[in-house]
């Protein structure tokens, strides 16, 4: 029988496997700490476990890291993009960004993406498969080990390849470990899950005990433009209602991401509508001037247009920020991840 990657198991799964081996439950805590706090890649390194247990674990499971295929550093800022290969040869990209000693890791949740949003290079490259929870967590372990100094705070954003809501089971399992005090001990302020908008799944996650912040990729103020830009995403009103319900239930704000595209969604009317749609509701608005990529006809608005959009939006809309994406010179900015040649 093929051995499973132990990082694909939930905490309960590991406890069950340990019990089946005739071991005490508290061994689970030790194993989780080795896997995620210390990030070891071999059972033989788990030196506070007995030799027989290490052997049993080695016979039953693997610990599978991601293989680095390539990496490229931005010349303009401190972002670095990695191309990883999984054991079955699938390729994914992840990005680490640093600004003033603060680290943010942009994670992928799928190999490619089936949603084909018009402004996104990942979507244009098609879809291969969901990432396992172990493959999602392996991205975090890699950056912790190679980039983030010990005891330094960092944030995780699920904004790389794929839509986390389409891989709910594996993303939830990864979030459980990211939240766990024995795992990564990251709370809701340190993790953002970004989705094109699937109202039912947002509600499912809102009702769970998993800790994370929610971001919704909105990008339109009319259903017509949303359909044109994001044909497979949930309807505008329902998606915003789900985002509002999430924020209310968790006493927080849901971020609405709005990629500004010249002549598509950057008019004065769009700004007025967006202001009206969000005023007095528990949202934050994050404007992202479109990052152009080869083969896409969409264009970034001029700086004057962006400024005017903000001026109209600001007075009534809640908490408006503009994201000047890092890594645009290495195709690592929002919507630019592609992992050319996903499988070899």
The residues that touch ligand SF4, with contacts defined as CB under 6 A, are 113, 115-117, 120, 122-123, 161-163, 196, 217, 335
CB nearer ligand SF4, residue 15 or residue 221: 221
Question: What phi and psi, each to the nearest 5 degrees, are found at residue 320?
Answer: -90, 130
104/194 with CB nearer ligand SF4: 194
State whether the Cα torsion 299-221-289-193 is positive or negative.
negative
Catalytic residue among 2, 59, 93, 188: 93
Long-range contacts at 304-311 (CB < 8 A, ≥ 24 apart): 305/260, 305/262, 305/266, 306/260, 306/266, 308/268, 308/271, 309/260, 309/266, 309/268, 309/270, 309/271, 310/271
> Which residues have C-beta within 8 Å of that of residue 31, sequence separation ≥ 6?
6, 14, 18, 46, 49, 57
Residue tagged active-site, from 113, 117, 120, 334:
334
Q: Closest approach of Cβ 27 to ligand SF4, in Å?
A: 38
Output the smallest distance, CB 35 to ligand SF4, in A: 28
Q: Which is nearer to ligand SF4, 32 or 332 (CB)?
A: 332
Is 120 one of the catalytic residues?
no
Least Å distance, CB 128 to ligand SF4, is 13
**How near is the Cβ of 148 to ligand SF4 at its closest, in Å?**
24
Shortest distance, position 174 Cβ to ligand SF4, whole Å: 17
Long-range CB contacts for residues 81-87, cutoff 8 Å, separation at least 24: 81/327, 81/330, 81/331, 81/332, 81/337, 82/142, 83/339, 84/138, 84/139, 84/142, 85/344, 86/111, 86/131, 86/135
CB of 37 to ligand SF4, least distance (A): 30
Residue 334 is among the residues annotated as catalytic for this protein: yes
d(CA 262, CA 308): 13
Cβ pair 233, 117 in contact under 8 A: yes
Catalytic site residues? 93, 334
């Amino acid at each position: 029988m093929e051995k499973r990657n132990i990082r694909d198991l939930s905490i309960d799964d590991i406890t069950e496997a340990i019990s089946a081996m005739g071991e005490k439950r508290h061994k689970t805590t030790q194993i989780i700490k080795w896997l995620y706090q210390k990030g070891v890649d071999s059972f033989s390194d788990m030196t506070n476990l007995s030799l027989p247990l290490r052997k049993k674990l080695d016979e039953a499971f693997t610990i599978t890291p991601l293989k680095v295929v390539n990496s490229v550093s931005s010349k303009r800022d401190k972002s670095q993009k990695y191309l990883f290969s999984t054991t079955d040869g699938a390729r994914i990209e992840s990005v680490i960004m640093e600004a003033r000693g603060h680290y943010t890791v942009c994670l992928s949740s799928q190999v490619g993406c089936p949603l084909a949003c018009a402004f996104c290079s990942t979507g244009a490259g098609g879809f291969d498969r969901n990432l396992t929870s172990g493959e999602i967590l392996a991205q975090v372990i890699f950056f912790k080990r190679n980039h983030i100094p010990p005891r330094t705070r960092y944030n995780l954003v699920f904004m790389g390849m794929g839509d986390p809501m389409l891989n709910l089971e594996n993303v939830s399992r990864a979030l459980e470990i990211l939240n766990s005090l024995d795992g990564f001990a990251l709370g809701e302020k340190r993790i953002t899950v970004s989705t094109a908008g699937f109202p039912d799944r947002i509600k499912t996650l809102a009702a769970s005990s998993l800790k994370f912040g929610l971001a919704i990729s909105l990008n339109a103020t009319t259903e017509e433009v949303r359909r044109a830009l994001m044909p497979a995403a949930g309807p505008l009103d329902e998606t915003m209602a789900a985002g509002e319900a999430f924020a209310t239930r968790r006493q927080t704000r849901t971020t609405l991401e709005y990629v500004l595209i010249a002549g598509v969604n950057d008019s004065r009317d769009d700004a007025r509508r967006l202001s009206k749609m969000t005023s007095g509701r528990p949202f934050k608005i994050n404007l992202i001037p479109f990052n152009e990529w080869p083969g896409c006809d969409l264009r970034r608005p001029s700086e004057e247009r962006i400024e005017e959009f903000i001026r109209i939006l600001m007075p009534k809309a809640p908490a408006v920020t503009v994201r000047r994406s890092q890594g645009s010179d290495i195709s690592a900015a929002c919507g630019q991840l592609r992992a050319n040649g996903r499988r070899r």
